[in-house]
Structure 1
Amino acid sequence: MQPISVKMHELAKPLWEKSFHHPFITELAAGSLPMDNFRYYLKQDRYYLGNFADLHRKIAAQTTDPAIKQFLIEGADGMNSGETEIRKEFFGELKIDENEIKTTPISPNAYNYVAHMYHELNEGTTATATTALLPCYWLYNEMGQQLVNVGSPVKIYQQFIETYDSPEFSDATNKMISIVDKLGAEASDEEQEAMIKSFLRSSYFELNFWQMAYEKETWGV
């Protein structure tokens, strides 16, 4: 029987292809993406990543598997420190201070994406909650691998791309895939279907994260 991640990846391919070819990404690679859109993305992503780390801790508290628990705790505590450090550099370079962060409303898509992950934590299972985290690793890793040789003429955009092709990030991605496969192998047919749904929903929100930043999404009220 093939690992559940293979089926997830295949089913999510249409969403992922739209992500890879979204104007936010193609313009970022070309160097033509307005910096204000990237600033918007970073502020929304800061909210997302803070919750992403907390979810690692909360899921770790649920699991009894010591290897999975260790990976999730390390992820929450900065296993991917390269991503954290480069974000600090970006915020400094673009002069995004704490006051701007505090006064920037959370966008609808960022809010809904985080709500989806907490729904899987609180209403789903450890397996579906863990699976909800996977596209953030895997999609970004594939994106980095695709774009790193093409590059971007804008230094900050090139640094962003390189973050997701790093050996550390690739290693973390592969470990997360193996964790989801392990949980999938232990799951019932019903839970496997719920895991796939969780993966696809996260992939949907990933696609809309680009659109959110491209149009600088607001609540419209």
Structure 2
Amino acid sequence: MSFTQQLKNENQDVLEQIFAHSFVQGIGKGDVPHDSIAHYIKADYEYLNAFMHVYGLAVAKSAQREDIELFNEQIGFILHSEVHPHHNFCNVIGVDYEALQGYELPPTADHYIKHMLYHAHTGSLGEILAALLPCPWTYLEIGNELLRQYQPNDSHPFYTWINFYAEEEVAGLTGQLCARLDKYAEQASEMEKQQMKTAFRKSCQLELAFWEMSYTCEQWPLEEAVSR
């Protein structure tokens, strides 16, 4: 069994909770509160900006051109392709994409970014890969699960979102990250592999927390008090 398959098996419990989450199921049913969608986009836009910075740090730690090419391709995907599911959400709630950019991160998203940056600055290339992988992996699984469970047609409000994450391009890019992490794990010590497992597990749990943060429109405590 490959290292990444082992990671996926060990974190299937988190993935099942993600599948069952009200926001994710709402996407499948075509019914998510508009405020939750807006909160998600505000946070995810800034999160993906930070995600690209982490890929940049991975480039700085890469000794081989094939790794630099891999991370550069992942950055290009976020810049040029991953805006499409955001636009789908924006069209559903009737808000311009630009109007949801430039907001302060809620606590969970802020923590998630700092978790990734910690591993990017202090850990090995394997740790960085392990911390990054749960994001594309869980979205690929969500897309396929919602496609299987709800079989949406083009009249479904989130048809574009679901099909985007179930497409071969997402599967291919995720597969490339898995292959590189597997290759790295073959040469890693047991301590390094445990550090990678820890980084992966925490990122999976933070993916689940990100959905909850979005659905509940999580705010910083004092900001929430002021808004009341």
CA distance in 2, matches of 1:79, 1:217: 24
In the other structure, the counterpart of 2:162 is 161
- The equivalent of 1:174 in structure 2 is 175
TM-score under structure 2 length normalisation: 0.88
Task: Say if 1:100 and 1:160 are closer, same or farther in 2 by CA, change over 3 A.
Answer: closer
Residue by residue, what CA displacement relative to the aligned partner does 1:136-191 show, whole Å, maximum 9, x if unpaired?
11111111111124145874422111110111111111111111111111111100
Aligned twin of 1:17: 16
Look up the equivalent residue of 1:83 and give its one-letter code: E
1:127-146 aligned within 5 A: 127-146=126-145
- Of all paired residues, the percent bearing the same amino acid is 25
User: Contact (CA 8 Å) 2:143, 2:165: kept in 1 or not?
Assistant: yes
> 1:164 aligns to what SS in structure 2?
helix
User: Partner residue of 1:200?
Assistant: 201
Contact 1:3/1:185 (8 A) holds in 2: no
| Structure 2 CA distance for partners of 1:100 and 1:3, relative to 1, 3 Å | closer
Normalising to structure 1: TM-score of the pair?
0.91
The code of the aligned residue for 2:83 comes to: T
Show the counterpart of 1:95.
Answer: 95
Q: Distance in 2 between matches of 1:207 and 1:100?
A: 22
In the alignment, the residues of structure 2 paired with residue 72 and residue 100 of structure 1 have an alpha-carbon distance, to the nearest angstrom, of 27
Query: What is the CA–CA distance in structure 2 between the aligned matches of 1:113 and 1:46, rounded to whole Å?
Result: 13
Secondary structure of 1:64 counterpart: coil
Query: Residues 10 and 80 (structure 1 numbering): CA distance in 2 closer, same or farther, change over 3 Å?
Result: farther
Consecutive unaligned residues of structure 1, counting only runs of 5 or more, are: none
Residue range with higher mean Cα deviation, 56-65 or 198-207: 56-65
Does the aligned pair in 2 maintain the 1:144–1:163 contact within 8 Å? Answer: yes
Runs of 5+ in structure 2 lacking a partner? 223-228
How far has the Cα of 1:85 moved from its partner?
A: 3.5
Which residues of 2 match residues 39-50 of structure 1 at below 5 A?
39-50=38-49
Shift of 1:22: 0.6
Q: Distance in 2 between matches of 1:159 and 1:8?
A: 29
C-alpha distance after superposition, 1:15-46 (max 9, x if no partner): 11100111111122112211221121111110
* Counterpart in the other structure of 2:226: none
Aligned-residue offset at 1:99:
5.1
Instruction: Give the aligned length.
Output: 219
Deviation (angstroms), 1:128: 0.2
Distance 2:90 2:143 in 1: 20
Calculate the aligned-residue CA RMSD, in Å: 2.0
